Structure 1
């Protein structure tokens, strides 16, 4: 059952009046917010349980099915504010994939490529120990001043990365960057965010509240939004098609355009260099091939609070000791030379190290929501709390259309500690899903 509640307030979260929508929902303007995230989460949980109980015990097919379902579940958890659970599910999925790859390499007699790299102790002693930590935003902006294109990546299940992207976008806009191209925008949508709000048709990952908040912030800064995802690309040509879309939609019209491109994972890699449409290079390298523009490429998907392998974990722990605190940083190994500790070594210009963001005991939410995103905790009104079972609480900007993406979503359970909503400035209305 879903109920909608309208907030009527002059000073903030103060007065709630229940309202029940009777009109039939239409694709253009629904009669009520689309509140099915708890339902989707339960579907993903059921699919994982089915995969885990499969009769194909210890089979590779079963393991890969479990790993895939863990990623789907983790994504759904990120959509309802359970960012810690999302990272745990993806870390478990990654371990399954890594273990499977290692087992297949062992059976095939192929060498373990990680054994050909420096040992963790050597990297810590020779690279991390002498490195100097610097605030990530400060360093990136210094390098960006002389660049035409900046490319930053994200892990799609980590909303924290979008909070950092939001901060970076604010600063890049101040120094003349004007185009914001996001991988998640629908490739066939040539005018993303034309209506100046984020809804389900903006893109798949923009359904996650922090991504929507990042884009709302960018709308206020008057960015020009560009979609570039490849629609039904041929095999091995997704990367080149993405780059060609960027060329066609930006650089052919404005050769001197300054562009911030927000991608997933390895699309930010500049190496190996691109030599043709269907080689093994990534979008950043393809864009460089097509335009001659050398982008500033930044990775933030490796050195953050996760567990992929013991090697990644040990290097991350060593990096954290260089700058205790709650701000992202980079490690400099010499004048304008940035240390990269990805496994294998990052094929980018810079690498961001994110601190560990614990759950704030006062809010029940990750501390980055306040320290980095700058959001304010608000108590969930008592009228919205469930008497039994679980309930998803949705907070929407009061003036947004009904099909807008919520500013926050959180799942609460009767009889358990109640977390706070973490919201930007503004007034809000609410919906609940049982």
Structure 2
């Protein structure tokens, strides 16, 4: 089976500029993931991504490792990230501005502003499932305001619409729904949104729309993709004229003004949100949550400073009465969400433990005596290609974290490897 690699990476990764697909070894690892072999795929990508000192030797493999690894662990280890690259420049001006800011509750501020538009666009960092759990909070808060369509970059967009039709019928995520939706947290977001009454919609550039791609021209490919996404979303808005739409995107697609996402002086680009705004005449509420984060060592001190103001909840900082937006999205998004400092419950990130699921101990029969095992939980009777409700990695001899599950009959599986992989 050919690995289904995110189109975003094929367009954006510098290492892929002269190629029509991922390197064969990365492709092989991603094929394992497509088949549900999370732990083996993660280990193979780690070997391709890191040298013996833990530094990045292949940037493309490293990006894929980040995005796949969190499907197993829930969040990335900061020491591993810091070791991977040279120390970045600390954003000291951000710290000073954060320290003078006032924090508002993020959900309350989003709801207040979402009443005045038909479109809310929220982004994520693709290596941050916490962002997906926040997206679920946003979806829940927007539903009473008439938001009824969930359009996600993550959904595979087949011309016949069969994938979305099956998702609507099933009410749960399969491995063929998308790449990022292989993450159990993303799958939980989608499953819960469907149960609330949201209609799922795909809008990613289709294979037909990308047929005229220019492998050597990264900028041209980005522009073509942004235009295709905007056109697909404009058509979607026309199909649902009475519905408000929550659009969930990755990184810079949220920008409603032209930006250079690289920060290296390249020509500025009109990203999807800017094009959609122009096509529809609707001013969207645009929200970034991927900039002031602890995943970026340069931004981390500002995130730590902000966390002291947030009271343990996602917040939006205000400067002189206006929303504070730091970094590349200043002037290009309406709001910037910052998340609280990391905390843990039941051996899991607190943001996940607060999702309403109950902690369930890993059954003793599934705990490893040697090596490492990924223990997965599925609803009893789930299809063979369903994405797990939850999964945790356990190392022999260490305390097992709890699974976080709804109160319903479950079946458990495990994938194990011997110690020695990264």
TM-score by length of 2: 0.78
CA RMSD of aligned residues (A): 2.8
Q: Which residue of the partner structure matches residue 251 of structure 2?
A: 265
Q: CA separation in 2, counterparts of 1:46 and 1:120?
A: 34
Q: Which residue of the partner structure matches residue 217 of structure 2?
A: none
Cα deviation per residue 1:121-172 (whole Å; 9 max; x = unaligned)? 5x555x4344321110011000001111000000111111110001110111
Q: CA separation in 2, counterparts of 1:198 and 1:92?
A: 35
Alignment of 1:292-307 (within 5 A): 292-307=281-296
Q: Which residue of the partner structure matches residue 19 of structure 2?
A: none
* Correspondence for 1:152 among 105, 116, 122: 122
Alignment of 1:45-194 (within 5 A): 45-49=46-50, 52=51, 65-85=57-77, 95=85, 120-121=92-93, 124-125=95-96, 127-188=97-158, 190-191=161-162, 192=164, 193-194=167-168
Mind listing any 5+ residue stretches in structure 1 that lack a counterpart? 1-32, 55-62, 103-113
Q: In 2 relative to 1, CA 349–90 (structure 1 residues): closer, same or farther, beyond 3 Å?
A: farther
TM-score by length of 1: 0.76
| Residue aligned with 1:83, SS | coil
| Residue aligned with 1:211, SS | helix
Alignment of 1:190-229 (within 5 A): 190-191=161-162, 192=164, 193-194=167-168, 195-229=170-204
Q: CA separation in 2, counterparts of 1:69 and 1:130?
A: 40
Q: CA deviation at 1:289?
A: 1.1
| Residue aligned with 1:237, SS | helix
Q: CA separation in 2, counterparts of 1:308 and 1:141?
A: 31
Larger radius of gyration: 1
Q: CA deviation at 1:44?
A: 1.3
Mind listing any 5+ residue stretches in structure 2 that lack a counterpart? 1-33, 214-220, 260-266, 417-422
Q: Does the CA-based 8 Å contact 1:71-1:89 persist in structure 2?
A: no
Q: In 2 relative to 1, CA 424–154 (structure 1 residues): closer, same or farther, beyond 3 Å?
A: farther
Q: Does the CA-based 8 Å contact 1:70-1:89 persist in structure 2?
A: no
Cα deviation per residue 1:334-391 (whole Å; 9 max; x = unaligned)? 44x211123563621000010012233xx221111123x2332111011111121111
Q: CA separation in 1, counterparts of 2:344 and 2:76?
A: 9
Q: Which residue of the partner structure matches residue 15 of structure 1?
A: none
The answer to which structure, 1 or 2, has the higher relative contact order (CA under 8 A, 6+ apart) is 1
Q: CA separation in 2, counterparts of 1:295 and 1:146?
A: 9
Q: Does the CA-based 8 Å contact 1:74-1:90 persist in structure 2?
A: no
Q: Does the CA-based 8 Å contact 1:186-1:229 persist in structure 2?
A: yes
Q: Does the CA-based 8 Å contact 2:36-2:175 persist in structure 1?
A: no
Q: CA deviation at 1:48?
A: 2.8
| Residue aligned with 1:80, SS | helix
Q: Does the CA-based 8 Å contact 2:312-2:340 persist in structure 1?
A: yes
